[in-house]
Amino acid sequence: MRTKTVWTVLAVVAFAAIGTWLFLNTSPKPAPQSTFVLLDASKLSTEDLRGKVTLVNFWATSCTTCVAEMPELIATHHKYHARGYDTLAVAMNYDPPSYVVNFVETRKIPFQVALDNTGAIAKAWGDVQLTPTTYLVNKRGEIVKTYVGPPNFDELHQLIEKLLAEA
């Protein structure tokens, strides 16, 4: 009987720890303070994201998954942009700027694209090394979801709808 009690207590503690971890890892966290240098040489800061639901996508022209998901990112941008949604694509520091410019121009990317020449932005946003890595930021400037690899776009759209409906 004593062994059963010990195992029950251990199970309760384990479930409590897992529940706490899930809560802490799904709670919104403030987006890191960053300054993005856009392709037109203008600048955008993390503060400028406030008031909109923003998808921040770290990508590279050499990343086949990034290239494959780009049409979906464009479609999502078109679908929600008029309702207060924005997209910011951040090209990784190893991506030659001329490749990024060519990619954006030939594919008529409708959203803002930043160059992370030094890697400081990727470092600030969780030491991003795998592409695509995407963050969904709410109107208050908090990261509410992180995707490593392509998101499930149906689920992403549901979350965007929910975030756009928030005050």
Q: Are residues 101 and 135 in the same domain?
A: yes
CATH number of the domain within which 75 lies: 3.40.30.10
150 preceded by a cis bond (ω within 30 of 0): no
For residue range 68-122, what is the model confidence (pLDDT) as tens digits? Answer: 999 999 999 999 999 999 999 999 999 999 999 999 999 999 999 999 999 999 9
For residue range 33-62, what is the model confidence (pLDDT) as tens digits? Answer: 999 999 999 999 999 999 999 999 999 999
The pLDDT of residue 17: 42
Q: Into how many domains does the chain fold?
A: 2
Q: Are residues 113 and 49 in the same domain?
A: yes
* Domain range enclosing 120: 31-165
Average pLDDT over residues 1-22: 48
Q: Are residues 81 and 42 in the same domain?
A: yes
**Per-position b or e across 27-63, b if 16+ CB within 10 A of its CB:** eeeebeebebbebeeeebebeebeebbbbbbbbbbeb
The pLDDT of residue 141: 97
Res. 25: pLDDT tops 60: no
Q: Are residues 14 and 77 in the same domain?
A: no
Q: Are residues 8 and 84 in the same domain?
A: no
pLDDT band of 29, cuts 50, 70, 90 = very high
Query: What tokens were used for 33?
Result: 């303070």
Whole-angstrom distance, CA of residue 128 vs CA of residue 95: 14
Query: What tokens were used for 142?
Result: 């908090």
pLDDT band of 156, cuts 50, 70, 90 = very high
Q: Are residues 52 and 122 in the same domain?
A: yes
